[in-house]
Amino acid sequence: MASMLVSTSAWAQAGVALEKVTFDKENQEATNIARAMYQPEFGYVSAQRIWLRDPAEGAIDQIAVKIGQGVSCSEDCHVAVLYHTDGEWAELWRGEGKTFELGQINEITGLKSIFADNREWSWGGAKYEPSLYGGYPPRRPANEAEMRLATDWIKANYADELHNIDAPQITALDVNLMTGDEKLIFIFDLTICGNDACPVLAVDNGKVLQQFSAIGPDAGIADGRTDQNGYRLIEIQTDQDVSVVSPSTGEVVQHILAQDVIPAGAKRVIAEAPAATQVPELPQ
């Protein structure tokens, strides 16, 4: 079995029980299976047995793989999760790094979540889907000034629908985009959102920098990168993916994609630059 350690990550510190998968001692049977699929493209291949679902005695139908171009995987390493189904090995997930962590079995999907680089990946029924970087921080009720700002924005952008909008739910998240005094304001209303995404306003000094549409709506701080104006990038939840965006320009910097199930050993695109890099500007 894989080397399982008690996690000391931020997720574990928040009370999420995690098991860390390391490759300190490889499983030779699993490694032989993985090498047949990942070599010669990857010079380094090591594997461990894991359990994404309830264990079955004697089974070796779930393995974790560490792959790299060099002979020692000292850098440019990736880890992947494989599952044997319908007579072949399928890759369910791949990420950068040398280790990852597994959560508890989801009672609905029957599979464990995967945690890597401060992001949770959850099985959505057909693929592993990314959460926001660091998870979903709790929001607070909007204060009077934030309510007024959001209400003014609604009036300006939904003037023809005001008769259908009744007491929208407005919440806020205090964030440090540059000086630590910035906010994300979330607006939920059936008329505004329908069954789709809802508005999220990025606000600095009482002014709306940009408006984004997010499923949930959910948004938060990204991984510490900044845009050309010095603002930290934010992430917004889309249908199955996560978009990394600039709060000052509206530019979409990156899409972090839900991971399709692919044949083990096939090429994998984890994240990509978007085809369209600008969101519509707010009406003046």
What pLDDT is recorded for position 61?
87
* Domain span including residue 191: 140-272
Consecutive H or E run containing 249:
none
pLDDT digits (tens, 9 = 90+) for 175-189: 999 999 999 999 998
Give the pLDDT mean for 8-37: 83
Dig out the tokens for 262 from the structure: 């692919």
Q: How many CB atoms lie within 10 A of CB 58?
A: 5
The reply to whether 164 and 229 lie within a common domain is yes
The reply to whether 110 and 160 lie within a common domain is no
pLDDT digits (tens, 9 = 90+) for 161-212: 877 778 889 999 999 999 999 999 999 988 888 878 999 999 999 999 999 9
The reply to whether 237 and 167 lie within a common domain is yes
The reply to whether 53 and 125 lie within a common domain is yes
Give the pLDDT mean for 261-277: 79
The reply to whether 15 and 55 lie within a common domain is yes
The reply to whether 148 and 268 lie within a common domain is yes
Is 254 domain-assigned? Answer: yes
Give the pLDDT mean for 30-57: 91
pLDDT digits (tens, 9 = 90+) for 54-95: 776 766 689 999 999 877 887 789 999 999 988 899 999 999
What pLDDT is recorded for position 85?
84
Domain end position, chosen among 130, 153, 168: 130
* Residues in Cβ contact with 37 at an 8 Å cutoff, skipping those fewer than 6 apart: 89, 264, 265
Per the omega criterion (within 30 degrees of 0), is the bond before 263 cis? Answer: no
Domain end position, chosen among 86, 112, 130: 130
Domain end position, chosen among 102, 130, 158: 130
The reply to whether 121 and 149 lie within a common domain is no
The reply to whether 24 and 110 lie within a common domain is yes
The reply to whether 55 and 101 lie within a common domain is yes
What pLDDT is recorded for position 275?
57
Nearest-angstrom CA–CA distance, 19 and 144: 44
Nearest-angstrom CA–CA distance, 115 and 13: 13
Is 107 domain-assigned? Answer: yes
Residue with tokens 């952008």: 157
- Percent of the chain clearing pLDDT 70 (strictly above): 89
The reply to whether 69 and 174 lie within a common domain is no
Is 277 domain-assigned? Answer: no
Mean pLDDT score of the chain: 88
What pLDDT is recorded for position 170?
95
The reply to whether 124 and 147 lie within a common domain is no
Is 284 domain-assigned? Answer: no
- The total number of structural domains in the chain stands at 2
| Least confident span in 126-130, 141-145, 193-197, 252-256 | 193-197
* Residues in Cβ contact with 72 at an 8 Å cutoff, skipping those fewer than 6 apart: 44
What pLDDT is recorded for position 118?
93
